[in-house]
Chains A and B, each alone.
Chain A
């Protein structure tokens, strides 16, 4: 046993290394990125030969993970919540194939949308797939749950979801580690038909999944992660899920909880566990980080039972992240501010870094687009999305990974010609290639900017799957070579770049312009590293 100071993400990664994974598959996405990065940088993981390169997207990561599980080895797959939408097809179907080697899927939610386009709650995805979901309360539980989760996954031959939120992912605390387990040997599934989801087999597999539900509920009753504390004033019972348990305890010094509390960190929850607190108490308050999952089920459509307080009746806010004072307010414990925030405080939104290549690219795009009516630039997910804000105000959409190209196709089909797409290099290989193929087959009059800063910038500069491949991919998909133009986004090339963009916007087919210049952050990091090496050599 060793105590380490770890982020929630890092606790999960260390847990996975110690639990004997043979691989981790992921695409970067805040707040999940640090899990995979930790494994990539871990000396122990290197010695154990754990594979940890980034995948092109969450779907390829999930499928590769499932393949490793098929071959009998323990594997972790990580993504942010919206990444699970991308991986939804293999994720949902993996519940039917089941697992062979232990398989944990980590989905990191982002309530309050610190770095995301929505705050969807992955527990609903877990319920949709009908697999066990673990929701740790703190960093230690996150570590312990990885060990437990692999055991559960192998025992019941089912993928297990680990759901965290930004707060736990990016908060540091002391974690006691366990002795590390060996990796599995390659061993094929006992049933050779298990992973063949032909209808005739899938129907059987689905029945098996339905039959397993009872054992999932038994597991969440006996694992110890869900606990009922029945003592106290029965006028109110509190059901507290995941990280909300910390906010609850924070309101009662020395853990002296005045009401019965059911702590939930594992799903599906057994009916009996819910029934106990419901029967014991006059009213129930449900605390959940994310959507009101338990609350909605407890209430039912007609709300005929006992009073249930939570996010749905306004006791807690319907949206956004919880905190100790919001939970306190729900329990009539007032926390008041002594000082007000002065009116003079201005918002300070994030912005593109000084010297960022995207700034020069969008300055040139803006000049050319000013010749046309507004509202033609479809964009995507990445640092360049910040070009929506002042002073650039260049783009008109940001929806999901890859949507820029395909939305431009639809808009052009509707008559908005020319339509423009702006997508980053890593986002392009994540989900843009198939859209570009559609555009070529559709002969769409669109111009696609692949903003190539040669990294996955927004999440901190991870390797991009697109590196050195973009022109070949575009050619391979069928874009006319004469209309694949590489430009250097620098102030001194501004006029030249404007002229090239003008030419391609006038072309009535698919053109691709690649503004290429390395991310200023990764460049600086490389320079510093080089400087350090030089210094060492001296």
Chain B
């Protein structure tokens, strides 16, 4: 088992929580893990990415090789395309489509969505809307992760345990909020594939 995952978003959107959840699940499953994060200057509202690599064999590089990523999980639609050259031929693009417009020349939304739909294996979800619908507007990141759970090579129960571990210090409410968010994203992806 080997999964190379790129997480993308804008500083402050919570990609490190996604990375931590996947990482914790991988460790619980006894897998090897390497997870390259972005800290420092770029975190201030700029484009951020994280490379998460999980495998049953030892992993060497902290960075994924060009064209070899199995999944891109993005919390922002334009950011989902920024690292598209990293995605493998059969790779999955899973992205929230709620844009973070903090630059003056943000591209046209329809054109952006058309580009995303060009990728055969994609799930495009309005994670912000879904998060609001389930009453936890701040969990769009975990909703997006939920939509990717079928492609992570790990059992859903393992990922649920990881959410419990990650949010343990933040209390039971926080754990349940994020478990619901992940489940809402997962359900959306199942329906999306059918349609």
Q: Do A and B truly interact?
A: yes
Interface of A with B (CB < 8 Å)? 5, 7, 30-31, 33-34, 114-115, 138, 167-168, 170-174, 243, 245-247, 249-250, 323-325, 328, 335-342, 344-353, 383, 386, 390, 458-460
Question: Contact: B39 with A173, CB < 8 Å?
Answer: no
Question: Contact: B38 with A170, CB < 8 Å?
Answer: yes
Question: Contact: B37 with A172, CB < 8 Å?
Answer: yes
For the complex, give the distance between the alpha carbons of A329 and B21 in Å.
34
Contact among B44, B106, B107 for A383, CB-based, below 8 A: B44
Interface of B with A (CB < 8 Å)? 10-11, 23-24, 27, 32-47, 59-68, 78-79, 81-89, 91, 102-108, 111-112, 115, 119
Given A114-B40, A345-B78, A383-B44, A250 and B67 contact (CB-CB distance below 8 Å): no
Question: Contact: B84 with A339, CB < 8 Å?
Answer: yes
Question: Contact: A350 with B43, CB < 8 Å?
Answer: yes
Q: Which residues of B contact A349 (CB under 8 A)?
A: 46
Question: Contact: A170 with B37, CB < 8 Å?
Answer: yes
Q: Which residues of A contact B87 (CB under 8 A)?
A: 338-339
Q: Which residues of A contact B115 (CB under 8 A)?
A: 342, 344
Given A174-B32, A338-B87, A325 and B41 contact (CB-CB distance below 8 Å): no
Q: Which residues of A contact B91 (CB under 8 A)?
A: 338
Question: Contact: B78 with A336, CB < 8 Å?
Answer: no
Q: Which residues of B contact A350 (CB under 8 A)?
A: 11, 41-46
| CB of A510, distance to nearest CB on chain B (Å) | 31
- 23 pairs, CB–CB < 8 Å, chain A vs chain B: A5-B33, A114-B41, A168-B62, A172-B34, A173-B32, A173-B33, A173-B62, A174-B32, A250-B60, A324-B65, A336-B66, A339-B87, A341-B82, A344-B112, A345-B81, A346-B106, A347-B103, A348-B79, A350-B11, A350-B42, A350-B46, A351-B102, A353-B44
Q: Which residues of A contact B85 (CB under 8 A)?
A: 337, 339-341
Q: Which residues of A contact B81 (CB under 8 A)?
A: 341-342, 344-345
For the complex, give the distance between the alpha carbons of A33 and B41 in Å.
12
Q: Which residues of B contact A324 (CB under 8 A)?
A: 61, 63-66
Q: Which residues of B contact A386 (CB under 8 A)?
A: 44
| CB of A46, distance to nearest CB on chain B (Å) | 18
Q: Which residues of A contact B23 (CB under 8 A)?
A: 5, 172
For the complex, give the distance between the alpha carbons of A458 and B42 in Å.
10
Question: Contact: B103 with A173, CB < 8 Å?
Answer: no
| CB of A10, distance to nearest CB on chain B (Å) | 12
Question: Contact: B67 with A337, CB < 8 Å?
Answer: yes
Q: Which residues of B contact A173 (CB under 8 A)?
A: 32-35, 59, 62
Given A5-B27, A348-B10, A351-B46, A337 and B40 contact (CB-CB distance below 8 Å): no
Contact among B27, B44, B67, B108 for A335, CB-based, below 8 A: B67
| CB of B23, distance to nearest CB on chain A (Å) | 6
Contact among B34, B42, B43, B82 for A171, CB-based, below 8 A: B34
| CB of A380, distance to nearest CB on chain B (Å) | 14
Question: Contact: A351 with B45, CB < 8 Å?
Answer: yes
For the complex, give the distance between the alpha carbons of A342 and B78 in Å.
10
Q: Which residues of B contact A245 (CB under 8 A)?
A: 60
Question: Contact: A335 with B65, CB < 8 Å?
Answer: yes
Q: Which of B38, B61, B89, B108 has the most CB of A within 10 A?
A: B61
Q: Which residues of A contact B59 (CB under 8 A)?
A: 173
Question: Contact: B107 with A339, CB < 8 Å?
Answer: no
Q: Which residues of B contact A5 (CB under 8 A)?
A: 23-24, 27, 33
5 A-B pairs with the lowest CB-CB distances in the bound complex, closest first: A30-B40, A350-B46, A115-B40, A337-B85, A171-B62
For the complex, give the distance between the alpha carbons of A364 and B138 in Å.
34
| CB of B107, distance to nearest CB on chain A (Å) | 4
Q: Which residues of A contact B41 (CB under 8 A)?
A: 30, 114-115, 350, 458
Question: Contact: A339 with B119, CB < 8 Å?
Answer: yes
For the complex, give the distance between the alpha carbons of A249 and B34 in Å.
15
For the complex, give the distance between the alpha carbons of A166 and B28 in Å.
27
| CB of A425, distance to nearest CB on chain B (Å) | 18
Contact among B68, B78, B83 for A346, CB-based, below 8 A: B78
Question: Contact: A328 with B65, CB < 8 Å?
Answer: yes
Question: Contact: A250 with B61, CB < 8 Å?
Answer: yes
For the complex, give the distance between the alpha carbons of A173 and B53 in Å.
10
| CB of B88, distance to nearest CB on chain A (Å) | 6
Q: Which of B63, B88, B115 has the most CB of A within 10 A?
A: B63
In the complex formed, the residue of B with least CB distance to A339 is B84
For the complex, give the distance between the alpha carbons of A459 and B42 in Å.
11
Given A30-B40, A174-B33, A335-B67, A346 and B107 contact (CB-CB distance below 8 Å): yes
Q: Which residues of B contact A460 (CB under 8 A)?
A: 39-40
Q: Which residues of B contact A7 (CB under 8 A)?
A: 37
Given A323-B63, A346-B107, A351 and B44 contact (CB-CB distance below 8 Å): yes
Q: A114-B42, A339-B84 are in contact. List 19 more A-B contacts (CB 8 A).
A: A5-B23, A5-B33, A30-B41, A31-B39, A115-B41, A115-B42, A170-B38, A171-B35, A337-B67, A337-B85, A341-B83, A342-B84, A344-B112, A347-B47, A348-B10, A348-B78, A348-B79, A350-B11, A351-B44
